[in-house]
A and B are shown apart, each in its own frame.
Chain A
Amino acid sequence: MTYAAECQGQAHRVTVTRVGSPAAVQLDETSHEVDFTPLGGGSFSLIMNGRSYEVDVVEEGEGVLAIWVGGEPHRVEIEEEGRRRRKAPGAAGQAQGGPQTIAFPMPGRVVKLLVSPGQEVTAGQGIIVVEAMKMENELKASGPGVVKEIKVREGAGVAGGEVLVVIE
């Protein structure tokens, strides 16, 4: 079985040619023998070329895995080859200047609006500050655009998940 994968903007092909212990895996042009032993709870012990790694896998969404190796996270988009790739929400796409929505994932309170309707914004510019878990969080634009709509007022409570600002 071959998987099409992307990590740090680089495309790769990974083929599992034999399961079992060790499994045989081909990454791009190179073949490896890999012992991949589950430890429970999404944690694995991986031994390759005599080197031992702690690996933790968290499913972040359809075809997106957060894979921790040696304490560092790797975002890997991976699917069986031939299946249509779905872009995860928030990835690319938005940065091209299409409409973007600024939302906050949990209940909180709007502390400050940093923009006004009609204002031009650049990628990474602070748009709104929301307080939750006793911390203030500045939400930023993922790409350039013009502020089209502001749906909340300063001081207002937000329920979580709702769209706060629309940028076009």
Chain B
Amino acid sequence: MKEADTQVFKKILIANRGEIAVRVIRACREMGIDTVAVYSEADRAALHVRLADEAFLIGPPPSAQSYLNADRIIETAKHVQAEAIHPGYGFLSENPEFAARCERVGVTFIGPSSQAIRAMGGKTAGRSLAAQAKVPVVPGSTRDLTDEEALDAAKEVGFPVLIKASAGGGGKGMRVVSKEADLAGAIRAARSEGSSSFGNSAIYVERYLGGARHIEVQILADTRGSVIYLGERDCSIQRRHQKVIEESPSPFVDADLRRRMGEAAVKLAKAAGYTNAGTMEFLVDSSKNFYFLELNARLQVEHPVTEMITGLDLVKEQIRIAAGEPLSVRQDEVQLRGHAIECRIYAEDPFNNFMPSPGKIQVLRDPGGPGIRVESGIYEGCEVTIYYDPLVAKLIAWGRDRAEAIRRMRRALEEYTILGVKTSIPFHRRMLDDPQFLSGQVHTQFVEGWLATGMGQATDTNAEIALIAGALYLHTKKSSVPAAQGQAAAAGSPWTLAARREAMRRR
């Protein structure tokens, strides 16, 4: 791998925020590329703004007026003479119009061509391309259907059946139907969710595979015709169709299945004329049959687990590919080493139905030590606002094998302290102790069933310590506050209190 001699771009604009913007800035910095952050009014003090070389305000807090404002972002890129835009994930990352506009104004979009995004973009488009390329898809229709056609198709595919919005994602616009009588209502609901969430009411039908695993294959494709796969990620641990824990390799996949899935993914990427980093999502049933679901035409949230076991830096690969450079490795040079797990840390309350929990980060202690990686967009004192996705950080653990990775993750979750907002850390701690998770025998509905029984308060060995600490906390606070100031100090910051306590002690 040669890095010092590749001056691919001089300056890149990052059209994103949060941990992924920070991740891209870091890759650029290592490559000697200048970075330009864009930010909304809510993000003036965000970490990505602080870390970038240049930073430009692009609009008010709502994403539609800032991080989705293609005009403003392209204008900014032209203004600062950035040669390329990295879109991160979400926002404009899979928007073919945006990619096309970048192409037109001569700014390199770090991702696939607008044509390839279109070819694979809609769920039905991807399914039909996969079927043509002889990659297995979940049985069902490969085009958008009228209500009549959908009724017929559902009966033909057999129940239970899934009605899906073609433009859907994240579990929206999806209905499982187990009997014919419910079909019409489900079709209506899927159409209406599709149109309200994605501006598109098209639907299609596929067989519902209960108890399947969600396994995806990472690919890299350069502009010179090379396409490689980098093993798989198992993302079966989902809550409401949102991934929460991902790992690589999958405890379920053997070398033969890995090769078959990898080759299918490569074949499909070639058929679509796909370039840059991409992910083919598959459902895998208990008999190790795999079915193509969709292509994610971007860097994935969970890309670090692949980086940890391959030793590659996917963001740097993306940048090199976009600059027309060849891939830094050949397929036969790709070696998977050890095991990696990622826990997504959301600002939400796992004890209260995962209610979002915005607020100020009062205390932050990141874990460290061997095999631990933190991808974070927060710092002590920063605000987690209501405007954006509640993903605040990702914790990644690597080990020589799955057992070591899990032990490291448990240890790191114990060290990880985020106060001021509620986080999903307690959820992860429980999940990493669950016998079924440890056995690796999970599927995409596992978490929902587990949550129905699993997310109680932990059996508590430290209640005694908490009670003693509580009394001492109140006691020291009270004795250090002169009576007249009692009220004001109660509302004051813990820092003031600590300072007062300190002053008392020196007396």
Distance in angstroms between the alpha carbons of A73 and B476 in the assembled complex: 21
Measured between C-beta atoms, what is the minimum distance from A152 to chain B in Å? Answer: 16
Residues from chain B with a CB closer than 8 A to the CB of A54 are: 417
Distance in angstroms between the alpha carbons of A78 and B387 in the assembled complex: 35
Q: Is B30 an interface residue (CB 8 A)?
A: no
Q: Is B488 an interface residue (CB 8 A)?
A: no
Distance in angstroms between the alpha carbons of A134 and B64 in the assembled complex: 13
Stretch binding the partner chain, chosen from B49-57, B221-229, B455-463 = B455-463
Closest to A71 in B: B414
- Give 1 or 0 for each of A86-106: 1 = CB within 8 Å of chain B CB: 000000000000000000011
Stretch binding the partner chain, chosen from B200-208, B243-251, B311-319, B464-472 = B464-472
Query: Taking each of B390, B414, B426, B469, which has the highest tally of chain A beta carbons within 10 Å of its own beta carbon?
Result: B469
Measured between C-beta atoms, what is the minimum distance from B383 to chain A in Å? Answer: 13
Q: Is B358 an interface residue (CB 8 A)?
A: yes
Residues from chain A with a CB closer than 8 A to the CB of B271 are: none
Measured between C-beta atoms, what is the minimum distance from A142 to chain B in Å? Answer: 11
Query: Taking each of A25, A56, A72, A137, which has the highest tally of chain B beta carbons within 10 Å of its own beta carbon?
Result: A72
Q: Is B156 an interface residue (CB 8 A)?
A: no
Residues from chain B with a CB closer than 8 A to the CB of A139 are: 353
Measured between C-beta atoms, what is the minimum distance from A55 to chain B in Å? Answer: 5
Residues from chain A with a CB closer than 8 A to the CB of B458 are: 72
Distance in angstroms between the alpha carbons of A107 and B468 in the assembled complex: 38
Residues from chain A with a CB closer than 8 A to the CB of B401 are: none
Closest to B429 in A: A71
Residues from chain B with a CB closer than 8 A to the CB of A27 are: 464, 467-468
Measured between C-beta atoms, what is the minimum distance from B198 to chain A in Å? Answer: 13
- Give 1 or 0 for each of A149-162: 1 = CB within 8 Å of chain B CB: 00000010000100
Q: A16-B471, A54-B417, A76-B470 are in contact. Are A41 and B495 (CB under 8 A)?
A: yes
Using a CB-CB cutoff of 8 Å, which residues 81-137 of chain A contact chain B? Answer: 105-107, 132-137
Residues from chain A with a CB closer than 8 A to the CB of B414 are: 70-71
Q: How many residue pairs bridge A and B at CB < 8 Å?
A: 160
Number of A residues, CB within 8 Å of B: 57
Q: A23-B472, A25-B468, A57-B473 are in contact. Are A42 and B356 (CB under 8 A)?
A: no
Closest to A38 in B: B498
Number of B residues, CB within 8 Å of A: 55
Distance in angstroms between the alpha carbons of A69 and B465 in the assembled complex: 7
Q: Is the CB of A137 within 8 A of B354?
A: yes
Distance in angstroms between the alpha carbons of A65 and B498 in the assembled complex: 17
Measured between C-beta atoms, what is the minimum distance from B97 to chain A in Å? Answer: 21
Q: A7-B466, A7-B467, A42-B362 are in contact. Are A78 and B354 (CB under 8 A)?
A: no
Q: Is the CB of A19 within 8 A of B476?
A: yes
Residues from chain A with a CB closer than 8 A to the CB of B355 are: 105, 137
Q: Is the CB of A56 within 8 A of B417?
A: yes
Q: A53-B465, A133-B358 are in contact. Are A65 and B419 (CB under 8 A)?
A: no
Query: Taking each of A14, A68, A69, A133, which has the highest tally of chain B beta carbons within 10 Å of its own beta carbon?
Result: A133
Residues from chain A with a CB closer than 8 A to the CB of B479 are: 19
20 contacts between A and B (CB under 8 A): A1-B475, A3-B470, A10-B463, A19-B475, A27-B464, A27-B468, A41-B498, A42-B494, A43-B417, A48-B468, A54-B417, A55-B465, A55-B466, A58-B420, A71-B425, A71-B426, A73-B351, A132-B386, A134-B388, A135-B356
Residues of A in contact with B (beta carbons under 8 Å apart):
1, 3, 5, 7-8, 10, 12, 14-16, 19, 23, 25, 27, 32, 34, 36, 38, 40-44, 46, 48, 53-58, 65, 67-74, 76, 78, 80, 105-107, 132-140, 155, 160
Known contacts A8-B460, A15-B471, A72-B460, then 15 further A-B pairs from the complex at CB < 8 Å, ordered by chain A residue: A3-B471, A32-B468, A40-B498, A43-B417, A53-B465, A57-B470, A57-B473, A70-B462, A71-B414, A71-B416, A71-B417, A78-B470, A133-B356, A133-B358, A135-B242
